[in-house]
Amino acid sequence: MRNRKVVIVGGGTAGWMTASYLRTAFGAGVDITLIESDKVNTVGVGEATFSDIRHFFQFLGLEEQDWMPACNATYKLAVRFENWRRPGHHFYHPFEQMRSVNGFPLADWWLRNGPTDRFDRDCFVMAALCDEERNPRHLDGRLIGQGFSENAEEFAGLTMSEHQGKTQFPYAYHFEAALLAKFLTKFAVDRGVRHLVGNVEDVVLNQQGDIDHVLTAEHGALHGDLFIDCTGFRGLLINKALEEPFISYSDVLPNDSAVALQVPQDMEKRGIRPCTTATAQDAGWIWTIPLYGRIGTGYVYARDYLEPEQAERVLREFVGPAAAEVEANHIRMRIGRTRNAWTRNCVAIGLSSGFVEPLESTGIFFIHHAIEQLVKYFPGPGWEPTMRTMFNDAIRHVMDGVREFLCLHYLAAARDDTQYWKDTNTRRLPDGLAERLERWQVQLPDSENVFPYYHGLPPYSYMCILLGMGGIALKPSAALALADDTAALKEFQYIRDRGSELIEALPTQYDYFTRMRPGAR
């Protein structure tokens, strides 16, 4: 059998992650061409990740020191939510599994007799590390334990979906999207991916309705067996040429716009917070992502409630004088998913496949997940169309599951001081969420009562949002009223002690990354 010819259209994060991964998975078994336009910009954002992305780098054979300095990358221990409950309040959604005591999650014991009003500080070590801006590694590179053994043999080679629930890696990354694309361009091209710069002007279908070739002014016709649409929100191949419908989520998630700034910062003076921050605003929220040397920031909002000029003004005020000279990037977001991400001989990956607002940094996770699924169901000899159906099911489940998790943020937020926040109490919910919420109010989320398909988020993530947002009354498990809490109290004490010990021992992120950089002492 001759090699499979794959044509990837688009050279953003999705295009280059796909090219690098497929080449690593199949070597010369696939012949890959990536074409990207020099007329159409990439979206220019996408800087925070899930911890699972480490499986991607591992698969490529890359260590942190190979790629992190090149991408001005930093560590992310959590998402910090500010002002979602009330002004001045914050809580973390950390990369740390919820502990269990006598068969009940520690959060349940906390509901029964919470030691303080900070469930996150009481239940997770990471919350203290974030508050004190600590790094998850010691200066000599040793990882804080947190029950995770970095090189555990039994987990080697697992994909991220296979790994979920086994252990929780303690951090994710922040990085500059454009620098990662540049890094992966070299990685892929060095390993034999053909890279073309040119504009796809037309997508030509054959008589059966499959894509025969894409037409470019610069390189003529590019033929392939499989076409990967990484053209971003345009969906040039999947939506425009093949007319696969896009299913909007705007009925349940109304934020459809963002304005972003890249703001240089004196990290020595300001430090590098080891988390993404999401700060609630009158008509949405602002993200702050600390990179090495600058922050990425942006206001995600709904145009039904706020004009772009106002959003930009609020964002600039929020950032302060450092933003004065910086140009704003206004983005219209297409929220939802393409009905079948794999249609005929075209697979959409990245924004062309789907997107939800970046409140939990899920965009790159969607890409990574789609690539893993594509490899799993890749059209080798003996391929059956059912495999395409299974791919599409997996993509649908991940996106619909994340949609539900995001809706929960707005539903659970206590804030209701503007029309935008008032409306979060009456907006339509995805099917099934209201019923699940009823259960979570008397029994915290667990693997039996959350969205029933793999979507990247473990039950403890739901607990964090419910307990942190503060707008929904929750009861501890009824059984706990009868139970002895000695072991739980010991666990709360352990978390306090471990936090203090680590704060003492760990460096700041600024110190750590300054030493890690090439040429540093």
Ligand X SMILES: Cc1cc2nc3c(=O)[nH]c(=O)nc-3n(C[C@H](O)[C@H](O)[C@H](O)COP(=O)(O)OP(=O)(O)OC[C@H]3O[C@@H](n4cnc5c(N)ncnc54)[C@H](O)[C@@H]3O)c2cc1C
Catalytic residues: 76
DSSP secondary structure letter of residue 480: G
Query: Which residues lie across from 114 on neighbouring strands?
Result: none
Site string for ligand X, 297-336 (x = CB under 6 A): -x--------------------------------x-x---
- Binding flags for ligand LVLLB6QQ, 436-475, as an x/- string (CB under 6 A): --------------------xxx--x--------------
Residue 113's alpha-carbon distances to 85, 117, 118, 120, in angstroms, are 21, 10, 12, 14
The rounded distance, in Å, linking the Cα atoms of 379 and 224 is 13
Give yes or no for residue 338 binding ligand X (CB under 6 A): no
Please list, in sequence order, all residues whose beta carbon lies within 8 angstroms of the beta carbon of residue 269, skipping any fewer than 6 positions away: none
| Contact call for residue 120 and ligand LVLLB6QQ (CB under 6 A) | no
Cβ burial of 64 (10 Å; 0-12, 13-18, 19+) is middle
Neighbours of 518 (CB within 10 A): 7
**CB atoms closer than 10 angstroms to residue 132:** 15
User: Annotation-wise, does 185 bind a ligand?
Assistant: no
The binder of ligand LVLLB6QQ chosen from 31, 47, 52, 229 (CB under 6 A)? 52
- Check if the beta carbon of residue 295 is closer than 8 Å to that of residue 263: yes
298 touches, from ligand X, ligand LVLLB6QQ, none (C-beta below 5 to 8 Å by class): ligand X
DSSP state, 358? G
What size, in residues, is the chain? 521
The interface partner of residue 262, options being ligand X, ligand LVLLB6QQ, none and the CB cut-off 5 to 8 Å by kind, is none
Q: Is residue 359 left, alpha or beta, with left meaning phi > 0 and alpha meaning psi from -120 to 50?
A: alpha
Q: Name the CA dihedral angle for 55, 57, 63, 64, rounded to a multiple of 10 degrees.
A: -90
Helical H segments across 171-301, by residue range: 177-190, 267-270
Answer yes or no: is 13 a known binding residue.
Answer: yes
Please choose, out of 11-19, 90-98, 418-426, 437-445, the segment that lies near ligand X by the rule CB under 6 A. 11-19
- CA dihedral in degrees (510, 513, 514, 517; nearest 10)? -160
Among 16, 50, 173, 420, binds ligand LVLLB6QQ (CB under 6 A): 50
Among 67, 75, 81, 95, binds ligand LVLLB6QQ (CB under 6 A): 95
Name the segment binding ligand X (CB under 6 A); options: 70-78, 101-109, 147-155, 226-234: 226-234
Q: Consult the annotation and say whether 351 binds a ligand.
A: yes
**159 touches ligand LVLLB6QQ (CB under 6 A):** no
Size of the site for ligand LVLLB6QQ (CB under 6 A): 16
Strands 220-223 and 211-216, bridge-based pairing: antiparallel
Q: Beta 30-36 vs 4-9: how paired, if at all?
A: parallel
Q: Rounded CA gap, 22 and 342, in Å?
A: 16
What does the block give as tokens for 236? 């040039």
Please report whether residue 224 would count as binding ligand X according to CB under 6 A.
no
Q: Which of 6, 32, 35, 346 binds ligand X (CB under 6 A)?
A: 35
Least Cβ distance, residue 384 to ligand LVLLB6QQ (angstroms): 30
Which amino acid is located at 364 in the chain? Answer: I
Stretch that binds ligand X, among 74-82, 161-169, 362-370, 452-460 (CB under 6 A): 362-370
Q: Is residue 79 a contact residue for ligand LVLLB6QQ (CB under 6 A)? A: yes
| Window 162-221: residues binding ligand LVLLB6QQ (CB under 6 A) | 164, 168-169, 172
Least Å from the CB of residue 400 to ligand X: 17
H or E segment to which residue 209 belongs: none
Q: Can you tell me the distance from the alpha carbon of 266 to that of 289, in angstroms, rounded to the nearest whole number?
A: 14
Interface with ligand X, residue 232, by CB under 6 A: yes
227: closest CA among 17, 33, 376, 42? 33
Question: Residue 263's beta-bridge partner residues?
Answer: 295
d(CA 109, CA 98): 12
Residue 23 in the binding site for ligand LVLLB6QQ (CB under 6 A): no
CA angle 120, 163, 400 (to 5 degrees): 75
**Beta carbons of 51 and 174 less than 8 angstroms apart:** no
Closest of 402, 389, 401 to residue 363, by C-alpha: 402
Tokens linked to 377: 């169901």
Q: Is position 374 annotated in a ligand binding site?
A: no
265 contact, one of ligand X, ligand LVLLB6QQ, none, CB 5-8 Å limit per kind: none
Residue 258 within binding range of ligand X, rule CB under 6 A: yes
* Binding site partner of 52, from ligand LVLLB6QQ, ligand X, none, Cβ cut-off 5-8 A by kind: ligand LVLLB6QQ
456 binds, among ligand X, ligand LVLLB6QQ, none (CB under 5 to 8 A by kind): ligand LVLLB6QQ
**Residue 11 among known ligand-binding residues:** yes
349 labelled binding-site residue = no
Q: Could you tell which of ligand LVLLB6QQ, ligand X, none binds residue 51, using a CB distance below 5 to 8 A set by kind?
A: ligand LVLLB6QQ
Which partner from the list ligand X, ligand LVLLB6QQ, none does 230 bind, CB cut-off 5 to 8 Å by kind?
Answer: ligand X
* Interacting residue ranges for ligand X, rule: CB under 6 A: 9-15, 35-37, 40, 42-43, 45-49, 177, 199-200, 230-232, 234, 236, 258, 260, 298, 331, 333, 350-351, 358, 361, 363-364, 367
Annotated binding site for 7-chloro-L-tryptophan: 76
- Residues that constitute the known binding site: 11-14, 76, 200, 351, 360, 364
Q: Which residues are annotated as a binding site for L-tryptophan?
A: 360
Residue numbers in the known binding site for FAD are: 11-14, 200, 351, 364
Q: Which residues bind ligand LVLLB6QQ (CB under 6 A)?
A: 50-52, 78-79, 93, 95, 164, 168-169, 172, 360, 456-458, 461
